[in-house]
């Protein structure tokens, strides 16, 4: 990947991580789901997640506390949510 395509890929991963956070997914769930359903590289997803944690320490502290109290999404819910994200992302790219 060269320059702008790398930046675009990282921006897409960042966007999808935000959607995972909105859906109350853990880091592990997000990495696995994006790898499986969006063909992202787990190492990149994990790195972007870590950078978000560094930049938003307070948010992630609260998020992880709440995360430990919530149930995980089912595989089907994860699949449907990510398909919608990918579809929405494709529509934005076309504009």
* Rounded-to-integer distance, Cα 87 and Cα 46, Å: 22
pLDDT digits (tens, 9 = 90+) for 67-93: 777 655 567 776 776 777 677 766 765
Give the global pTM. Answer: 0.71
Q: What DSSP line would sit under 6-75, residue for residue?
A: HHHHHHHHHHHHHHHHHTT--HHHHHHHHHHHH---HHHHHHHHHHHHHHTHHHHHHHHHHHTTSPPPPH
pLDDT digits (tens, 9 = 90+) for 46-66: 999 999 999 988 888 888 887
* Residue 33 vs residue 59, higher pLDDT: 33
- Domain boundaries of the chain, sorted by first residue: 3-94
Residue 83's pLDDT is: 74
Residue 65's pLDDT is: 80
């Amino acid at each position: 990947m060269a320059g702008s395509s790398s930046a675009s890929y990282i921006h897409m991963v960042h966007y999808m991580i935000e959607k995972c956070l909105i859906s109350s997914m853990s880091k592990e769930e997000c990495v696995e789901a994006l790898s499986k359903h969006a063909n992202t590289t787990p190492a990149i997803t994990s790195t972007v997640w870590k950078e978000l944690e560094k930049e938003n320490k307070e948010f992630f502290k609260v998020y992880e506390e709440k995360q430990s109290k919530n149930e995980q999404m089912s595989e089907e819910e994860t699949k449907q949510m990510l398909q919608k994200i990918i579809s929405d992302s494709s529509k934005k790219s076309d504009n």
